[in-house]
Chains A and B, each alone.
Chain A
């Protein structure tokens, strides 16, 4: 079984500063993918970034980067130069690529508030 842990229920960051949202995971599968989603108050789930377990480099997508430390089983999201529009709930998720249970498993989320 997979488990995703997000230990920060809420985070505050000043506009234009960088912020790191923590995510640790637990799985026995050798091959898996890690995802981050943003959920604004409107409720939609916006895909931000993906990291494969065998990828050698950390994933980056614009202002988003994923700090992947496989040995520590962590996949932290780094948002650079925060903007007011970044205020939202952020979810870390994982999908194994082997075995019968291949659905996404989500963490409990982190509510990010960007302060002007």
Chain B
């Protein structure tokens, strides 16, 4: 199974600022996924990030708000820009395994005040 790490594990930020979340995988993967989990809710896919191309965003998510970088096959970043309290969520990085499985990082717990 893939081992995924995320930084930071949690943060408290002021509204109007930006936070960049890092995701590191211990093996090369083609696709990386970024999810958001708002308090008490299920997971929602933000975007899919392929190495060497622009990320593909889901309906309701835009690049200006959630810019994503994918510089190589083991690393990605998600930036939450111009934050508001509504952005308080757990942000999770995910990768697809060699066959069917999909693994998640430990998550970044963000609180915006």
A residues adjacent to B (C-beta < 8 A): 33, 35, 37, 42-45, 47, 50, 52, 91, 95, 103-104, 106-109
Stretch from B19-27, B40-48, B67-75 contacting the other chain: B40-48
Number of A-B contacts (CB under 8 A): 47
Q: Compute how far the CA of A52 lies from the CA of B99 in the bound complex, rounded to whole angstroms.
A: 11
The 8 Å CB contact of B42, one of A35, A43, A103, A109, is A109
B residues adjacent to A (C-beta < 8 A): 1, 33, 37, 41-45, 48, 58, 90, 92, 94, 100-107, 109
| Cβ contacts A to B, 9 pairs, < 8 Å | A42-B106, A43-B37, A43-B107, A44-B104, A44-B106, A47-B103, A91-B42, A95-B102, A103-B58
Please state if A91 and B109 are interface contacts (CB–CB under 8 Å): no
The 8 Å CB contact of A91, one of B43, B45, B100, is B43
Please state if A47 and B102 are interface contacts (CB–CB under 8 Å): yes
Please state if A106 and B43 are interface contacts (CB–CB under 8 Å): yes
Q: Is the interface of B mostly helix, strand, loop or mixed?
A: strand
Q: Given that A43-B90, A43-B107 are known contacts, is A50 also in contact with B43, CB under 8 Å in the complex?
A: no
Q: Given that A35-B102, A44-B104 are known contacts, is A106 also in contact with B42, CB under 8 Å in the complex?
A: yes
Q: Which 8 A-B pairs have the closest CB atoms?
A: A45-B104, A43-B107, A106-B42, A106-B43, A44-B106, A103-B45, A108-B42, A43-B90
Residues of chain B lying within 8 A (CB to CB) of residue A47? 1, 101-104
Q: How far is the CB of A32 from chain B (nearest CB, A)?
A: 10
Residues of chain A lying within 8 A (CB to CB) of residue B106? 42-44
Q: Compute how far the CA of A109 lies from the CA of B44 in the bound complex, rounded to whole angstroms.
A: 13
Q: Compute how far the CA of A104 lies from the CA of B106 in the bound complex, rounded to whole angstroms.
A: 17
Q: Compute how far the CA of A72 lies from the CA of B102 in the bound complex, rounded to whole angstroms.
A: 25
